[in-house]
Amino acid sequence: MRSGIVLRIEKSSLHDGDGLRTVVFLKGCSLHCSWCSTPESQSPVIEQGYGKIMTSEQVMQEVTKDEVFFFHSGGGLTVSGGEPLLQADFVAELLQESHHRSINTAMESSMCLHFDEVIKVLPHLDTLFADIKHMDANKHKDYCGKDNTMILDNIRRAAAWKSSLKLIARVPLIPGVNDDDENMRSLGEFCASLQHLDGVELLPYHRLGVGTYAKLGRRYLLPTVKTPSAEVMIERKMFLRQYIDNII
Ligand code: SF4
């Protein structure tokens, strides 16, 4: 039985996969996105009370408390972060145990790790939410700390790996950073080129984590960026529709 560092466990989420989900957020991330709304998830160690060590059995005890809701709603377990693949063996154990219990599984990942880590979890995954933050390698490095070469390659490989894997690209729409026509066109062309993709989720930038930066003694790097309006979200969605049908 493995142990992992868990940031928190949230119940009854409606936004992280099919049905009602229990979301297990893990500590540690390979990126440092300027807009990150969970800066407390980035460090791989327990800091200022954020995070605790749990065994896979302890996590599953929490997850299975909601089994009846999963059954009625078609929901299940979603693993998120931070970056869950930094603890890929632990995640694989959670997902495998879930499948043994016929619990649906999902993971949200930045995909910024070697494919050897990705492949540890794919066999036990029903839905993969793969983040795409910027299509330009240099801008990705400027805003997130690393370029996107490995990320895009991993998404290509995951899309080709098994057609029954539900693959959703998650794109945070950050005004002035990645919402221009050039980036959206490049994103659309990339998505259209994948062997399979079940949809693109466009997520409006929000400032929910700003207070946590102050708590951690860190500076928030995008103090003037505002949440895009519903009109802007719809217009960008229609733009992306030129390349891919299912925009969520
Ligand atoms: S990948 Fe997600 S958790 Fe990691 S820094 Fe970026 S926004 Fe934050």
Percent pLDDT > 70 in the chain is 100
pLDDT > 90: what percent of the chain? 94
209 pLDDT more than 90: no
Residue 168 and residue 130 in contact, taking contact as beta carbons nearer than 8 Å: yes
Angle at 66 between CA 62 and CA 71, to 5 degrees: 140
> Does residue 212's CB lie within 6 angstroms of at least one atom of ligand 1?
no
Domain hosting residue 107, numbered range: 3-240
Ligand 1 lined by 85 (C-beta under 6 Å): no
Is the CB of residue 39 below 6 angstroms from any atom belonging to ligand 1? Answer: no
**Residue 230 pLDDT class (50, 70, 90 cuts):** very high
Domain for residue 107, yes or no?
Answer: yes
Does 100 fall in a domain? yes
Strands (E) located in 110-150 = 127-131
Please report the pLDDT score of residue 162 as a whole number: 87
Our mutation pick for probing the ligand 1 site, out of 83, 148, 221, counting the most ligand atoms within 8 A of Cβ, is 83
Do the domain assignments include residue 130? yes
Which ligand 1 atom is the nearest neighbour of the CA of 41?
3
**Does the Cβ of 33 fall within 6 Å of ligand 1?**
yes
Question: Which of 25, 36, 201 most suits a substitution to test ligand 1, by most atoms within 8 Å of the C-beta?
Answer: 36
If one counts the domains in the chain, the total is 1
Confidence bin at 179 (pLDDT 50/70/90) = very high
Q: Is residue 163 part of a domain?
A: yes
Q: Minimal CA–CA distance to 79: which of 100, 93, 65, 61?
A: 93
pLDDT of residue 217: 92
Closest residue by Cα to atom 7, ligand 1, is: 36
Assess if residue 138 is contained within a domain. yes
| Domain assignment of residue 60, yes or no | yes
Q: Of 113, 144, 147, which is best to mutate to test ligand 1, by the most ligand atoms within 8 angstroms of its C-beta?
A: 144
Amino acid at the residue 139: K
pLDDT digits (tens, 9 = 90+) for 83-115: 999 999 999 999 999 999 999 999 999 999 999
C-alpha 176 – ligand 1 centre gap (Å): 18
> What CATH number has the domain bearing residue 42?
3.20.20.70
What digits encode the pLDDT tens for the residues 23-52? 999 999 999 999 999 999 999 999 999 999
Residue 245 lies in a domain: no
Instruction: Identify whether 164 is part of a domain.
Output: yes
For ligand 1, say whether the CB of 32 is within 6 Å of any of its atoms: yes
Asked if the model's pLDDT at residue 248 lies above 90, the reply is no
H or E segment to which residue 216 belongs: helix 210-216
Q: What are phi and psi of 221, to 5 degrees?
A: -90, -10
Ligand 1: distance of its center to the CA of 74 in Å? 27
The residues that bridge with 169 in the sheet, in sequence order, are 130, 200
Q: Report whether 106 contacts 21 (CB < 8 A).
A: yes
**Checking DSSP bridges between strand 21-26 and strand 52-55, what pairing results, if any?**
unpaired
